[in-house]
Amino acid sequence: MKTFILILIGFVYTFAPRLCLAQATAQQQPIPLDTIYANDTKNVALFFPEPIRQGITGSDNFVFTYNREEEQYFGLLQAKPGKESNLLVVNRNGSIFSYIVRYKKQLSKLNYFIPLSKSIGNERPILKDSILVKSSEEFVDNSTYYY
């Protein structure tokens, strides 16, 4: 009887559907996004570790401006009263930053210095080469051929 149970467990373990890594990761708790507050009377400055290549807000009552002609490290955020939205910023190196943006009449913070560690990912996957290449060159010194 024990053998039958062990075979049954082995069979179920082998052929039961399992989650792939992407599914397992998707079922984990999502990373909570930080909130940046802005209003219609002041500019809120966001300083990034790399120059900004693209910046997009999810709603018309938020405006994120940055230099589109010459990449710079900062952008300016302004808001009109309304529902919260989101801000997505992509740096020159492909790092992606995502924030919730909300309108707030009185602002306590006007400048945000955003570290690279706040990046939620990269638009181009950073893969390390998994194949190690051995050099076929051998170091030969003169003492090898000296008689």
pLDDT tens, position by position, 94-136 = 999 999 999 999 999 999 999 999 999 998 866 665 565 555 5
Q: How many CB atoms lie within 10 A of CB 57?
A: 20
Q: Which stretches of the chain drop beneath a pLDDT of 70?
A: 1-30, 125-147
Total-model pTM: 0.65
Alpha-carbon distance of 102 to 84, in angstroms, equals: 5
Q: What is the DSSP code (8-state) at residue 12?
A: H
Nearest by Cα to 59 from 99, 8, 25, 118:
99
Alpha-carbon distance of 93 to 49, in angstroms, equals: 10
Six-digit token string for 50 = 């790399």
Six-digit token string for 20 = 């792939």
